[in-house]
Structure 1
Amino acid sequence: MASSSGLPEIGTFLPTSSPDPARPVLGDIPAAARFAETAGLDSIWVADHLLPTAPILDSTVALAAAAAVTERIGIGYRVLLAALRPVAWAAKQAAGLQHVSGDRLRLGVGTGNPAHGDIGWRAAGVSFADRGDRTDEALRLLPDLIAGRTTTLPDGTVAALSPGATVPPILIAGNGTRALRRTATYGDGWISLGNSDAELTAARDRLAELAAERGRPAPGLTVMQVAPDTVTALADRLAALAELGAERVLVLPPDGNWRAAYEFIAEAKAAAGR
């Protein structure tokens, strides 16, 4: 959902993990969530994994903690590894977050970065090699399960979760052909990963074509954005992404100081909206 200023929804990440094992970013989640909301940001996001290459907090616990101390700001998975869990359990977690947050969840889903290896998958007792197929299966079942509708699970079990919840926007990550087809088939939006503007435009247009073939609306565009060095540069970038049609922009904090990073992003958002 775009903000009232005409900009995309501007989000950033809670201090739950880091790509650098030598510099883990594990901060005060409730304090960070409250500060992001007070600063005027639109959404806060978490990474998800069991055993990645660096420390990481449980994503659902972190989002629940953030939801409990905020009222307005959106909360999001970027991205939930749905294939790492039984699909009914993933749906139960999403439905629970919808209830405790007042329908503020954005449900990003992906297959996982191969750079983390397969140890987390082995620890969970699920196949790393089959994670793509398991992700497709989860995406097919998640909306009905979250909504509390009677659903036939992969092993033939018929179940209805209770209480059901509002199905959140489902955003699918991945740059490959299969990921784009997955998005067009199951997603409300696509999360880009390090794409140029030309690549974003091409992917946006291709997704619209694929979705039309399936009788579905064109997925919205969520863009991952590394924070540039200055507020002005980020403001200009946010305005450019608005022109490109982005629905959401997730700005990666420039360093481990989440408070300073959130102030920086919020200042750029305000500047871009003027």
Structure 2
Amino acid sequence: MTVEIGVILPTSTPDPARPILGDVRDSARYAEDVGLDSVWSTDHLIASAPMLDSTVVLATAAAVTERMTIGYNVMLLALRPVAWAAKQISTLQLVSGNRLVLGVGTGNPAHGDAGWRAAGVEFTERGRLTDDALAVLPDLIVGKTSLDIQLSPGSKVPPIFVAGGGARAQKRAAKYADGWATIALSPDEVRTNLEQINELADGKQLKATVIAPQLDGDPVEQLAAYEAAGVERIILPPTGDWRHDYDQAADLRTRHHG
């Protein structure tokens, strides 16, 4: 296994004072042209900075690329009726040629609860609602009868990873997902968490996705350490200049692949 390297499309930013909104078509094409493995879109109804709709963003990226993975980092399932979420996911899987990866999370409290209230969802219920959605989502995506409905056409269920560092997130990943995601943990911390998750996973062996990994010192050596810890992909954070970010990521990928 060689660690895959992805980047976030210019659809928002963690810093409200510096929203990163760029040309999704241009940035997705550029990421593929420089050899990156994946592009990702963040997700929220109302966030602390301007943010585009994740499904529309990923559909746009899929339309102008041929090879790369496109992914939710991460979809907030609890903000949506699960049948609608399944319809969006299934359609995006079909139009992208099965290139979708579905990251799922419960939402960062730093963004507040305005979006949840606007969607008619209790912020405190988002964990339970996420679990309920994940329990029926695969059947809905493939077109099996669930919730007394059958969506058509169905599609292949994309790889799913669950994000989060708490005990509930670990149990959620172990029960429903193919992988687990975290932000900025060291290789040793990733290994420890994966061991705990895989003990709960009923024989599955989950791999990790690390957003904003710690790449101090020699980044190639750090990538090797992450790979040894069970990391299958990293997603590098935006700095404000997406073209520069993508060039740096592509250079790191070239050095890592040797």
**Shorter-chain TM-score category?**
over 0.9
Give 1:22 deviation, angstroms: 1.2
| AA aligned opposite 1:258 | W
Alignment of 1:71-150 (within 5 A): 71-150=66-145
Give 1:235 deviation, angstroms: 2.6
Give 1:227 deviation, angstroms: 7.2
Q: Give me the whole-angstrom Cα distance separating, in 2, the residues matched to 1:57 and 1:221.
A: 26
Q: Give me the whole-angstrom Cα distance separating, in 1, the residues matched to 2:112 and 2:39.
A: 26
Q: Is the 8 A contact 1:7 1:238 kept in 2?
A: no
Q: Is the 8 A contact 1:10 1:249 kept in 2?
A: yes
RMSD of aligned Cα (Å): 1.3
Tell me if 1:49 matches 2:40: no
Change (3 A) 1:257 1:203: same
Q: 2:222 aligns with which of 237, 251, 262?
A: 237
Task: Map Cα deviations across residues 13-48 of structure 1 (whole Å, 9 max, x no partner).
Answer: 000001111111000001000000011110100100
Give 1:50 deviation, angstroms: 0.4
| AA aligned opposite 2:136 | L
Give 1:234 deviation, angstroms: 2.8
Aligned to 1:224: 211
Q: Is the 8 A contact 2:214 2:222 kept in 1?
A: no
- Give the secondary-structure state (helix, strand or coil) at the position aligned to 1:75: strand
- Give the secondary-structure state (helix, strand or coil) at the position aligned to 2:124: coil
- Shift >3 Å, 4+ stretches: 226-229
Q: Is the 8 A contact 2:186 2:214 kept in 1?
A: no
Q: Give me the whole-angstrom Cα distance separating, in 2, the residues matched to 1:246 and 1:198.
A: 11
Tell me if 1:199 matches 2:199: no
- Give the secondary-structure state (helix, strand or coil) at the position aligned to 2:209: strand
Q: Give me the whole-angstrom Cα distance separating, in 1, the residues matched to 2:213 and 2:237.
A: 5
| AA aligned opposite 2:116 | W
Count of matched residue positions in the alignment of Structure 1 and Structure 2? 258
In structure 1, list runs of 5 or more residues that go unmatched.
Answer: 1-5, 153-157
Query: Under a length normalisation based on structure 2, what TM-score does the superposition of the two structures give?
Result: 0.96
- Give the secondary-structure state (helix, strand or coil) at the position aligned to 1:163: coil
Q: Is the 8 A contact 2:40 2:73 kept in 1?
A: yes
| AA aligned opposite 1:8 | V
Give 1:197 deviation, angstroms: 2.4
Query: Under a length normalisation based on structure 1, what TM-score does the superposition of the two structures give?
Result: 0.91
Aligned to 1:171: 161
- Give the secondary-structure state (helix, strand or coil) at the position aligned to 1:112: coil
Give 1:114 deviation, angstroms: 0.6
Aligned to 1:13: 8
Tell me if 1:248 matches 2:218: no
In structure 2, list runs of 5 or more residues that go unmatched.
Answer: none
